[in-house]
Structures are given as C-alpha cells and as structure tokens.
Amino acid sequence: MGRLWGGLLQRLRGVAGPASAGRGLARACSSAAAADGLEGPARTRSYWKYVRRLVRGAPQPPYRHVCQVGDPALRAVAAPVEPAQLAGPELQRLVQRLVQVMRRRRCVGLSAPQLGVPLQVLALELPEALLHVCAPRLRERRQMESFPLRVLVNPSLRVLDNRLVTFPEGCESLPGFLACVPRFQAVQISGLDPTGEQVVWSASGWTARIIQHEMDHLQGCLFIDKMDSRTFTNVHWMEVND
C-alpha cells in the first residue's frame, strides 16, 4: 500500500462501524453503518476464489472494479492530494486506473473514492461514440455535447447559473438504477491537472450535470441522496414483467 493513501485508508476503515462514527474521516449525506446486519448476510467464496485470494492476497486500491453502494469508501469525504504527491508515481497510477476503468465501463465520469481511494481526484470524458448512443432529440433536450478527457485534482466548484434542471441519472456504483436529480444549469470547476498545472473549466447542460455528480462523490454523496425518490427506477423492471 503506497504512502499516498495508505494512512487515509486506515482512517477510512474507521467509519465502517458505529464505534468509530465520531473518528476518522468526516461523513457527509450519510450516517454510520448500523450494527443490525445492514452489511448483508455472510458471503462465501468458491474454492478457486479462496485459493486465488490466498495466493494473490486481497485486492488493493485503486481497484480495477467500481465500488458498490454500501462500501464505506463511497461515504467518506475525500482528502486533498498533498502538493508533494503531485506528478508522483502513486498519483499517476491512480489517474491511469481511473481512466482505464472509466473507459472500460463506458461511463462519462469516475472519482477516486469509487476505486477505493479517498482522495480528491476525478476523471471526466464524453467521447463522440458515447454521445451518439443517445438519440438526437434526447441530446438536444438534455444539452449533451462531447468533451475530451479531463482529470482534475483537488477540484472546487462554483455555480454560474443556479437554475435547477431535472433529468434522470445513473451511477456505476448503483448499476441498473436511475432516478431524476435536480442539478444547476451551469457551473465552473477549477483544480489541478495531474502535473500540478491549474485548470479552470466552465460548463453547462449535461456536462455541468456530470461535473456535479462526480464532485458529489468527493463529499461522500450519491445521486440517491439528491434524487426524487418517487422516480427511483430499476431499468430492468419491464423485463421482469415480460
């Protein structure tokens, strides 16, 4: 485990139970895990998975998978990256993994906490190929435009247009579900690129929504914390009824 987030991960583990609710990283949009079995039933592994884990050890962040809702990593407030770590090998490895997983999952944004790393780093990209998956009428209505890869470290957000626009959103940490979420029409995000250079980016429409969604992850918030709960939908509900 690298020095960059080794200590942070130790502190993050402290938010998993009620005894540590007052210690470790601050929490946002959530409460400490309860002791009444909310983590689900005990899980068993197949023999081969057991052997593989025994030989290789447990996976270490940054993961090659996206953390799922219920993982304490998604409910911790991410810590800023220290100046001394900018352009260092561990940060570069995290950035590479973020981009790799984001593109493999064909999503338009991903944050470091979603890979189990409690740091203020996020990646955003909406290539033309993904944009054109949506019908032209939908793209126009949602003000969707493509944009190149952007990686921001220690980002901050400023609202440029406080009109709220509501559209459905999903998340790789809650696959298969959508809900309507209100977002500001236009925002400005500023921060550093992975080499430490200042970045300022103003965006509106769907791009602004993506930015706000990923910034929420750095505060331990998921879209379900801001959604209209009556619109919460399993995208496969019609298949179940078929």
Active site residue 214: yes
| CA pair distance 9, 116, nearest whole angstrom | 8
- The two three-digit tokens of residue 183, written as one number: 């977002």
Say if residues 105 and 172 touch (Cβ distance below 8 Å).
Answer: yes
**Distant-in-sequence, close-in-space partners of 15: CB < 8 Å, separation ≥ 6:** 21, 24, 25, 27, 32, 33, 72, 75, 76
Residue of 128, 197, 214, 239 with catalytic role = 214
| CA pair distance 136, 40, nearest whole angstrom | 42
**Residue 66's closest CA among 26, 24, 104?**
104
What are the residue numbers of the active site? Answer: 214
